[in-house]
Amino acid sequence: MQYAMDFVADGPVGIFSGRPWCAHAEGCPQEIQAMRRKLPLDFPVSDALVNVLACRGVTSTANLDRFFYPSLDQLHDPFDLQEMDRAVDRVLQAAARGEKVAVHGDFDVDGLTGAALLAETLGAVRHQGSAIRTEPAFVPDRATDGYGVAGRMIREWASRGVTLLLTVDTGSAAATEIALAGDLGMDVVVLDHHIFEERPQAVALVNPRRDGGTYANLELSGVGVAFKFAEALSLREPGCLPEDFLVSVLDLAALGLVADQMSLVGENRLLVKKGLERFNDREHIRPGLSALLEVSGLDRGFPVTTSDFAYQLAPRLNACGRIGRVMSALELLLTRDPAVARRLAAEADRTNSRRKEQDQLLKEEAIAMALPFVQRGEPGLVLAASNWHKGIIGIGAARLVEQYRLPVILIAIEGDEARGSARSVPHIDVKAVLDQCAKHLVRHGGHAQAAGMTLRRRDIDAFRTDFLAALGEQPATGPLPEGYDLDLPLDTLETTDVARLVRELEHLEPFGAGNRKPVFRCCGLRLQRPPTSLSGGAHLRFAFRGPARGNGGTPALGREFVSFGCGESWRQMLAREELRPRDLLDRTWDILFQIGRSTYRPRSGAYDPVQQLLVDIRPGAEP
């Protein structure tokens, strides 16, 4: 989903984001009225909802119908993906012959869900009265196998008589390993979405990002390609999969797409929306996901959302791939035994708790190391240490990007080898910068905002020098503006008005990359008191003063705002400007905020159905 037009920045930068603010283009009154007539909804909606749709370019009758009532028959033809026909034919051949087939995934959530979906697909295929003999699906261990396709498993599968290997979320760049498979008598089908330089010698390479491809959705993740493969099988040979099979694996597709931060527009939005329906069908939810919801505290009757995927479920699965037993996460997705599911979910939860502790220690060390480089104005950060775990450096790099708004590479040193993880800011393609430094790297890959690399310990300093030099040559485009959809005058609204708008906005879900939860602006507010600290100062709670209501209604500003992860930015502002508590109360403030359903039920007192999240804040224009 693209916004209707470019941003126009207004005023100073926000305290939390360090970015200027800018409004998306709202629809004109005539366009709003025309859209109202086209809306395929049987209830009245506010101008705010229609304006948000206009901001996102959803204005035509066809787009509105697809947006509010997506169905699987709106999916793109899977055979538009290059070599999908070869992949399908080879698997149907394997089923007819009763061949032994193996699945190789990857250790992040996209690779885990892709491996689970593919394993269930191959296990369910029936063709010409025969079935595939499937090996247990495999996901590499980050510590022992590293990135990419594991050569040791190629040899092991060959020794077991495997004649066909399917890789998912990996394999496009595995030319050496796939050549080895061929030498050992094994065909390979690659289902992937990563960029690559040289096409491997695979029977089929299905990848939406291939040069010359015409597939309409370039934002498929690995599990998305696996789903399209299952869809292609069902179209090529009706009846080779159970009638409801595609619906049964939508939960895996949705979880992987969200966890890999794919754009939730078009086909991806359809898959995630339908996957959420499957997730919230408690009669059919798979035991592993049900147990994961329970250990995450999400089994309280509220609908599961994409935010739950991103902040609760995916981190627990990812933790297994970073510092735990990665195969336990795959087993959790595949098991049909509720008791096994509860045990594996508890293991994932414990591993995630350990991961969070290690994240915090790494962040503190990295910030201390970064300070001298930041103070002298380096265009990016390249930091290395021998006590960092390579499974969590990606998270640490992302935290430092948030802190300093610079491209960051953190490197974990292990003997003579080093593994690095890069994260970038929106206006710098870190993969392109790494390409310029390739002579120092054993291997590297990724995309514009996140990448990984392997290099020799002795090359770290030279790599740092060239990386920073290459960054310095990037065009100075400035920080990407913090966008908002429209102004929402909370000082004139009541809490019931906001609750009604929250219910309306739920029709725009699922939210995520490409379809962000709407952000609103409100200007000229005054604080009731300085913000109060939460979680040791990591988060803050804000309370603003609202006008009195003569009709007895509760003003919307009577509800407090929570801002997550903003404590350090706020404290830096206070120190920089030497502000006293009285100063905070005397000035006016402009805010960006989001509203949504609250899932917190207090032990006592009334339940408030709305949560107000403060996205950014800046000093207002003084009267």
Question: What does the pLDDT read at residue 4?
Answer: 38
pTM (predicted TM-score): 0.86
**Strands (DSSP E) found in 357-449:** 381-385, 408-414, 417-423, 441-446
Cα Rg, the chain, nearest whole Å: 25
Q: What is the mean pLDDT of each run of 10 residues along the chain (623 residues)?
A: 46 82 80 85 85 87 90 95 98 97 95 98 96 96 85 96 97 94 97 88 95 91 97 97 96 95 91 94 92 90 89 93 92 97 97 89 89 88 89 85 88 86 86 93 81 90 95 71 88 89 92 89 93 90 79 78 89 89 92 90 71 94 69
Question: What does the pLDDT read at residue 574?
Answer: 92
| Cβ-based neighbour number of residue 602 at 10 Å | 8
Dihedral of CA atoms 183, 185, 187, 193 in degrees, nearest 10, equals -40
Q: Which two tokens stand for residue 11?
A: 């005023």
8-69+481-619 architecture in CATH?
Beta Barrel (2.40)
The rounded distance, in Å, linking the Cα atoms of 234 and 240 is: 6
| Cβ-based neighbour number of residue 454 at 10 Å | 18
Instruction: Return the CATH number of 358-472, one of 3.40.50.620, 3.10.310.30, 3.40.50.970, 1.10.240.10.
Output: 3.10.310.30
Residues in the chain: 623
Question: What does the pLDDT read at residue 584?
Answer: 93
User: Matching CATH topology for 78-246 and 358-472?
Assistant: no
What pairs with residue 614 in β-bridges?
593
Question: What does the pLDDT read at residue 254?
Answer: 97
Question: What does the pLDDT read at residue 91?
Answer: 98
Question: What does the pLDDT read at residue 477?
Answer: 54
Question: What does the pLDDT read at residue 6?
Answer: 45
Question: What does the pLDDT read at residue 238?
Answer: 96
Domain residues of the chain, as ranges? 8-69+481-619, 78-246, 358-472
CATH 3.90.1640.30 at 78-246, yes or no: yes
